[in-house]
Amino acid sequence: MSIYSAEILKKRLHGGVSVAALSLSLFLAGGIGAVSAQSLEDTLVATYGSNPTLQAARAELRATDEGVAQALSNWRPSLSATGTSQFTSTDNDLNAGAGLGGLTSSKDDRTSNTGTVTLQQNLFRGGRTIAQTRQAKSQVAAGRAQLSSTEQDVLLSAVTAYMDTLRDTATVELNRNNVAVLQRQLEASQDRFDVGEITRTDVAQSEARLSGSQSALIRAEANLTNSRAAYERIVGSAPGTLEAAPPLPSLPGTEDEALSIAIANNPALMAARFGEEATRHAIRDAKGSLLPTLTVQGDYSYSDNPSSTVKNSESATVTGRLTIPLYQSGAVYSQIRQAKQRNSQSRLQIREATRSVEEGVASAWEAYRAANAQITSDREQVRANEIALDGVQQEAQVGSRTTLDVLDAEQELLDSRVALVTSERNAYVAAYQLLSAVGRLNAAYLALPVEIYAPEANYDDVSGQWFGYGVTDEPDEIAPESGTDAASQL
């Protein structure tokens, strides 16, 4: 190889490797313009405050809270008023009797008004009110656990979308730099071909590799577009310049420790336990239908002009009513059997949830361990491929290596760098999956700078209410996503 062609090759290829290394560092150590970049904490804060899936789960829990108020209402009296107004027109022909001149007539037009007020109070309902209240409270506890599970899923989705966007951004940069490197490689090959140092085959190999790298860049850009779209769907806004991922939160030290924490805190398992508790109270509720009920009722009635002979009247009555069920066609016994079977189902669901938690912890732990081991391997591979590429390039300058050798070394380095970026992403996401498995992936444990949603506030507000139908989110205050109306489609 002539000095001229060696210098051309060196000039064409110089800088490509360092730019690729910089692209990788954007993922591993931070992005350009980090002062105004968006952090993972910013992403999680935005997700916590605006994600519709999480907001819908909160609304569902608020609806579940109302079950306690409805159960407690059976302790309270019911009051009703009934009013009637009646107009009566009577026209009678009367026989006046013998010798009195034949028939006489009478006409009576009368409006009567009646008002009745009824007060009814349950004294004993066979223990159903207590059972229904306890069942409703268990359902609220299960709903809170389910909300925590939804919060974990949503935050994990946000972390995944963030890391996917970081990974795909770095991959695009690596592939874009590879296209630039291969473009310079093709130009260098063409220059060497022009001076007769290589054949047309070498030039064709460079052209083919460049074309392949351009296709890879298009695929990487498509993946990035998909990741950005997923990010926007979860977070509510398109990602800007993302900062590098911060240090991981505290993780369990061992798999046994992780499993112990999960058994106590995993929200899916807690929801199953509270659900079983609710079904036990449902059995007591069903059995209460076989017991007597006792109610007292007071009625006050006032009538104005009720008849032609009475100007007005009023009455007050107090009635005690004891109802003893004797036979209800077997329906109540069927309901009791049904409640028992549902309790058996819920107990089996606890067992299923326990197994799922154990599997989830083991899977997340091994995924995190394997991803960290993969990072070590990929870093070593990147280091070795950088050394190999540098050696191949130098050997190519003295003619002991072919153009294809250089192209292969460049591709291997690119693949190892992309693999490292992917491994870094996988390890980070696996860590958060482990947090989710043990029940600690929530705003409180992550110390997010947000106002933590407190489900107790709505529960305390509505469970003891006697009057009022106002809620935090009125239906007409929630902006619809489109102007469609189901009624208009009928």
The number of C-alpha atoms within 13 Å of 356 and in the hemisphere containing its C-beta is 13
Cα 26 to Cα 419: distance, rounded to the nearest angstrom: 15
The answer, yes or no, to whether residue 12 has pLDDT greater than 70, is no
Q: Which residue has the higher pLDDT, 14 or 87?
A: 87
Whether residue 485 is contained in a domain is answered as no
Cα 129 to Cα 436: distance, rounded to the nearest angstrom: 37
Average pLDDT over residues 235-258: 93
pTM: 0.82
Q: Which residue has the higher pLDDT, 396 or 341?
A: 341
The answer, yes or no, to whether residue 24 has pLDDT greater than 70, is no
Cα 140 to Cα 61: distance, rounded to the nearest angstrom: 7
Whether residue 140 is contained in a domain is answered as yes
Crossing angle between the packed helical segments 40-50 and 200-235, to the nearest 10 degrees:
40
* Residue 481: per-residue pLDDT: 54
Q: Is 42 strand, coil or helix? A: helix
* Residue 6: per-residue pLDDT: 37
* Residue 478: per-residue pLDDT: 53
Q: Are 410 and 185 spatial neighbours (Cβ–Cβ below 8 Å)?
A: yes
The answer, yes or no, to whether residue 430 has pLDDT greater than 80, is yes
Domain total of the chain: 1
Crossing angle between the packed helical segments 200-235 and 403-438, to the nearest 10 degrees:
20
DSSP state of 467: S
* Residue 310: per-residue pLDDT: 73
Residue-wise DSSP of 223-273: HHHHHHHHHHHHHSS---SBPPPPPPPP--SSHHHHHHHHHHH-HHHHHHH
Whether residue 373 is contained in a domain is answered as yes
Reported as a pLDDT band with limits 50, 70 and 90, residue 1 is very low
Q: Are 302 and 314 spatial neighbours (Cβ–Cβ below 8 Å)?
A: yes
* Residue 472: per-residue pLDDT: 56
**Sheet strands side by side (includes 293-304):** 78-95, 103-124, 293-304, 312-323
In tens, the pLDDT along 315-325 reads 999 999 999 99
Cα 307 to Cα 343: distance, rounded to the nearest angstrom: 60
Reported as a pLDDT band with limits 50, 70 and 90, residue 389 is confident
* Residue 213: per-residue pLDDT: 84
Whether residue 93 is contained in a domain is answered as no
The answer, yes or no, to whether residue 99 has pLDDT greater than 90, is no
Q: What is the separation, in whole angstroms, between the first and last Cα of the chain?
A: 81
How many DSSP H helices and E strands does the chain contain? 11, 4
Whether residue 102 is contained in a domain is answered as no
Cα 390 to Cα 45: distance, rounded to the nearest angstrom: 45
Q: Which of 14-18, 336-340, 402-406, 410-414 has the highest mean pLDDT?
A: 336-340
* Residue 55: per-residue pLDDT: 95
* Residue 334: per-residue pLDDT: 96
Q: Which residue has the higher pLDDT, 392 or 252?
A: 252
The two three-digit tokens of residue 380, written as one number:
């070593």
Whether residue 94 is contained in a domain is answered as no
Average pLDDT over residues 21-48: 65
Among 26-30, 71-75, 260-264, 331-335, where is mean pLDDT lowest? 26-30
Which are the contacts of 405, defined by CB distance < 8 A and separation ≥ 6? 392, 395, 396
Give, in order, the Cα–Cα distances in Å from 84 to each of 109, 117, 308, 418. Answer: 17, 12, 17, 83
* Domain carrying residue 18: 3-86+110-477
- SS percent in the chain: helix, strand, coil, step 5: 65, 15, 20
Query: What CATH number did the domain enclosing 173 receive?
Result: 1.20.1600.10
Whether residue 486 is contained in a domain is answered as no
Whether residue 96 is contained in a domain is answered as no
